[in-house]
Amino acid sequence: MENPLRQDLEHILEHTAGIWEDLRGARLFITGGTGFFGCWLLESFAFACDRLQLETSATVLTRSAERFAAKAPHLAGHRAIRLWEGDVRSFAFPAGPFSHVIHAATESAAPQQPLAVLDTIAGGTRRALDFAVRAGAKRFLLTSSGAVYGAQPPELTHVPESYRGAPETTDPRSTYGESKRVSELLASIYYRERGLECGIARCFAFFGPYLPLDHSYAAGNFLGDVLAGGPVRISGDGTPYRSYLYAADLAIWLWTILLRGKAERPYNVGSPEAVTIRELAERMVAAVAPGMPVEAARQPVPGAPAPRYVPATERAQGELGLKAWIGLEEAVRRTYAWHRRHASAGR
């Protein structure tokens, strides 16, 4: 059966052609390997293993191997992928050496559960780092977040890695961003004290197959509305600025930062193309459902500054040659087609 992501996977392989030899014969351990990031890492990993005959393996931490096998049987059953059940905060260490660790696990608990968020993100990072040291890993990738910068000032169109803003420490709603800051600090400590080379990917917003359509992701929710026949509903006034990197490009960035990024040096990961939430909804509709109505829950407040969450990406572009190759409209078309194919297959 033709892989529905083949075009994307060929794209990933084209733009990572120079790095896969570093993984020939390697043993990887991946946390968060069954979520949105993880599925794209595993899709591209399996494709590269088959195409390049890498003889590489990946052990993937998951809370439920059974659920992941139902979600992505072709990945769960791939010869190079082994599922390892456990909680990221307390998982048993698999035996033997591992050369690379990717820590992509995070916490999706609601903001009203700040302790669960803190325990999972900070505690899980510490556990993953301890495992990497025990296993003799030479490279570690931490997927952090643009939330480490706190609220982006409206006058700062794109936030660079040098920005010294931070979340409000006395607001429990800052728990996610503060937990990611602690994770980056831990990565730095393990690099300086244990010699573990830790790459840091500060991730912003993304779009593509495997992104949930029923979570707190505007892009996913909008596509869910489109697939349901509309209208597309905006929960706010549509004025905040975001940017969206397509998932295939995301995979390129993550593999490159793991293998080519400088240790202890954060790289923003995302698209520099800013769009308002309203523009996102309208461009999505124009791409795949022309004429579908877009409705906002409330009108913008005249003169109110629009919140922004948009990265500056010059560091990743200049040092690693990374960019957003696939534009927003094409990302929408590919993701829409993927969901339609899954729906027609009864998945």
Tell whether the model's pLDDT for residue 206 goes beyond 80: yes
d(CA 185, CA 126): 10
Kindly give, in sequence order, each residue whose CB lies less than 8 Å from that of residue 262, ignoring residues fewer than 6 positions away. Answer: 199, 319
| Mean pLDDT on 286-305 | 96
Tell whether the model's pLDDT for residue 347 goes beyond 80: no
Domain ranges of the chain: 6-207+244-271+311-325
Tell whether the model's pLDDT for residue 295 goes beyond 80: yes
pLDDT-derived band at 236 (thresholds 50, 70, 90) equals: very high
> What is the second-level CATH architecture of the domain 6-207+244-271+311-325?
3-Layer(aba) Sandwich (3.40)
pLDDT-derived band at 214 (thresholds 50, 70, 90) equals: confident
The whole-model pTM stands at 0.96
Q: Is the dihedral of CA 36, 191, 189, 27 positive or negative?
A: positive
Round the average pLDDT of the chain to a whole number and report it: 95
pLDDT at 111: 65
pLDDT at 2: 76
Tell whether the model's pLDDT for residue 316 goes beyond 90: yes
Segment 142-171, tens digit of pLDDT: 999 999 999 999 999 999 999 999 999 999
pLDDT at 346: 56
Tell whether the model's pLDDT for residue 207 goes beyond 90: yes
Enumerate the β-bridge partners of residue 27.
57
Segment 164-186, tens digit of pLDDT: 999 999 999 999 999 999 999 99
What torsion, rounded to 10 degrees, do the Cα atoms 11, 274, 267, 184 define?
A: -120
Interior angle at CA 167, CA 164 and CA 168, nearest 5? 120
Q: Which two tokens stand for residue 262?
A: 């400088």
Pick the range with the lowest mean pLDDT from 102-116, 147-161, 255-269, 281-295: 102-116
Tell whether the model's pLDDT for residue 328 goes beyond 80: yes
Segment 84-113, tens digit of pLDDT: 999 999 999 999 999 999 999 987 656 678
Q: Which two tokens stand for residue 238?
A: 């549509």
Kindly give, in sequence order, each residue whose CB lies less than 8 Å from that of residue 311, ignoring residues fewer than 6 positions away. Answer: 146, 158, 159, 202, 204, 243, 268, 269, 270, 271, 272
